[in-house]
Structure 1
């Protein structure tokens, strides 16, 4: 299970992503309460988080092209350095009481562009750091480390916001971006096959689209998550903090988010040991649990109920995440992987700003409880929609062996591992 750690590039990638996630555990809590302290408006909070999501969606395809044309280590280092700069400015204006809503909107948008550049490169780099037979345990280990970091980040975010204010939480997030940039300098992997290619951006995008649509299960799952993520973002990012302010408190909300990540850690341990051919089917079925936190917020917003639901959600989400990343890595050629991930991210995220911006006004009209119940129902329907696809139900992935010859430490693993397994449509 620990065999991927024998590869130096994987260790540096895992370290950088863990540090990133430590900051990402702090940032949503800090930003949410910074906006609520500034304006007291759930609608304003929806606008700020929606602006960041919108710019990520608009630029993620460009990020995928860049990650398939430029050495991925360079993209990771540069984007994290920019992330440190943008979050440092956000922390400064909050700490100095000079923040305004337009300024937070602009800085959130800038951070969204940074995220669009970073995420396709990060996802596509993983299969290049280990041999093909170790992709599933590598994904599981990455997720395990990331989620362990987010436990500490969410708990730290709740403590910082409650004790010294949201500005310090944003400052911690800026610091983690800088540390991650340093860690990513050690991710020494081969440049993608299209690095330095002279084809135009539009031609690269067309190639990525052809690869994305060549396998029915890919767009079906992405469309399902378009609706699921929009509902989740509106419920968790906008209505969740508002309900928490009136019931379990800010520290309690941090505990709920930490509990979800704790569930992900447990889920990661389970995913490390899974030997399932129809891994994607299992992952999609697990997503029925995703709506339970929204149901808890609507029907019984207590710490016990929400923490229990959050743990269950974390375990379920981790099964899907490992299943999806393993399926993509095993069936998409490595030199096109970042572009396919960028289309995946675009489709999965494109409706998130709508969910974030619409949640507040809808709650004002029909009530927070009814809005949360509607969002939970939409999440269940999205999972049912994915399961109607025969390809989703039947896709098979290579089952990792229980033992593997991992060899010695290798800082330069196989240059292309994603296409090692034949496509199973």
Structure 2
């Protein structure tokens, strides 16, 4: 039995679980330590820009060194940045400055770490004896499990342990993810050409390589279209989860149900990813694409009605189910369509843009809610996604998604 996919997925889940726990626990610890909501917001704001810049520029490094190595290093950076906080707390006590400092350091590992792990995917498929459809479907499902467990674990740990002690747990998950990644043979992480042969070491400057990656991204009609749709999806969902739904559940005096939205979303993703892992290689990809898009539109439409808390939860499940299908398919297409030697730069740029999108969506929804109403904000987000839905259905670059066969050899679709 080939254990390479199992090793990769175990590392992925541990890293995601650590981030999920930290995403809930860290703001609470900042609030407990500083007593200031503004302090928690300051930490988030201070780490956002370095995270975006790291995603943009660290892609060059990921395309220059062994990708297993870059994945290990980024997880170790994340582990060290988190572990430093309880250590400082033991020695001198934490202040807002310490949270910001190590938040910035940790952000240098987060987005590049995501990029490095995604850059490994084609090699895992090539060496692991697993189809891209099954790998991506299982990854989506396991990611949903981590999203289900993470917030609950964070809440439990905050109750059981005092203050920053919880962060030792999140640091341990990142460290363990790095150690498991080291079990992947080094040759699997080697930089290769699209045909799997070793790539020649580039003599270009880092800036030249970065520009080459950007040209490859923005000259591909397919990659531009997928990036645009993904950006709108992240923006809309972040605005719904981060502002519209908290306001709505507060207005209907059911704030306790807000956490169940994430659970419903994750449960849907678990089912959707599992379905794609089992059946994704069957049938035309265009059909999976349309089903995923239509399901997402239906789910967002149900949520945007804000008819009742239970209707909102049903909509969240539908969105998660469709996202499990759509996200898995997009992962397969990214494996096939992004040039192997440029994966770090292209996916780093994409991930940096995805990191910047949520705050923009939340601000837009906040303005609409403040000057109109929460229902108007939900309707606005539905219209924004509706535009992306129509664009995706009729975009020429997103019509042919199945690989073509030429002379008995499978090749990628048109870029």
1:343 aligns with 2:349: yes
- Structure 1, gaps ≥5 residues long: 1-5, 400-418
- Give the conservation status (yes or no) of the 8 Å contact 2:7–2:181: yes
Q: 1:348 to 1:196 in 2, by over 3 A?
A: same
Say if 1:97 and 1:371 are closer, same or farther in 2 by CA, change over 3 A.
farther
**1:231 equivalent in structure 2:** 236
Aligned equivalent of 2:171, options 169, 174, 192:
174
- Partner residue in 1 for 2:218: 213
2:53 corresponding residue in structure 1: 58
Pick closer, same or farther for the CA change 1:111–1:232 going to 2, 3 Å. farther
Q: Distance in 1 between matches of 2:313 and 2:177?
A: 30
The 1:34/1:311 distance shift into structure 2, 3 A limit, reads: farther
8 A Cα contact 1:46 1:238, kept in partner: no
Give the structure-2-normalised TM-score. Answer: 0.81
Find the counterpart in structure 2 of residue 287 from structure 1.
296
What residue in structure 2 maps to residue 352 of structure 1? Answer: 358
Q: Is 1:123–2:115 an aligned residue pair? A: no
The alpha-carbon distance between structure 1 residues 169 and 364, as it changes in their structure 2 partners (threshold 3 A), is: farther
Q: Structure 2 stretches of 5 or more lacking a match?
A: 193-198
Equivalent residue number for residue 134 of structure 1: 131
Aligned to 1:27: 22
- Shift in alpha-carbon separation, 1:99–1:378, aligned structure 2, 3 A: farther
Q: CA deviation at 1:390?
A: 1.8
Give the 3-state SS of the residue equivalent to 2:204 in structure 1.
coil
| Counterpart in the other structure of 1:199 | 204
- Quote the RMSD (CA, aligned, Å): 3.5
Q: Is the Cα–Cα contact under 8 Å of residues 280 and 393 in structure 1 kept in the other structure?
A: no
- Between 257-266 and 193-202, the greater mean CA deviation after superposition: 193-202
Partner of 2:147: 150
Alignment match, 1:308:
314
Q: Identify the structure with bigger relative contact order (alpha carbons < 8 Å, sequence gap 6+).
A: 1
TM superposition score normalised by structure 1:
0.79
2 CA distance for matches of 1:240 and 1:101? 29
Deviations 1:158-190 (A, max 9, x none): 444566677565443222111111111012214
